[in-house]
Amino acid sequence: MEEKQFCLFMHLSQFASIFIPTAGIILPLVMWLTAKGDSPMADAHGRIILNWNISSFIYAILSVALLFVFVGIFTFIALAIMWFLFPIIGCIKASQGETWKYPLSIPFFSVPRS
């Protein structure tokens, strides 16, 4: 599989959680772990995706806490929109051979500059 295509599918694999809970986290993680040594592009995209998955999990926990002050529903809506849009944008950028760091993503894993 071509490098760009692999990265494209890695971004899209996050939507697997729609059908199987946590699959959208596990699938891109497994894809990244299997390809990171062979492809610098796949390594960068995998790190970006993993950073977003961890960050969005933290934001979801914070949103639950904010439910008690009636602001959490708005953060959940914003998070849902970002959860849907960011992988699509990442997918488009990957198909063009570019890397795109998801906004508001906490850099747990450093992403090499391309």
Q: Which residue has the higher pLDDT, 11 or 70?
A: 11
Asked whether residue 62 is assigned to any structural domain, the reply reads yes
Asked whether residue 50 is assigned to any structural domain, the reply reads yes
Q: What is the DSSP string of 38-100?
A: T-HHHHHHHHHHHHHHHHHHHHHHHHHHHGGGT-HHHHHHHHHHHHHHHHHHHHHHHHTT---
Q: What is the pLDDT of residues 31-88, one digit of tens each?
A: 999 999 999 999 999 999 999 999 999 999 999 999 888 888 899 999 999 999 999 9
pLDDT at 77: 94
Asked whether residue 114 is assigned to any structural domain, the reply reads no
The number of distinct structural domains making up the chain is: 1
pLDDT at 114: 57
Give me the domain span that covers residue 45: 3-95
Asked whether residue 112 is assigned to any structural domain, the reply reads no
pLDDT at 25: 94
pLDDT at 72: 81
Q: What is the pLDDT of residues 81-110, one digit of tens each?
A: 999 999 999 999 999 999 999 999 999 999
Asked whether residue 105 is assigned to any structural domain, the reply reads no
| Total count of residues recorded for the chain | 114
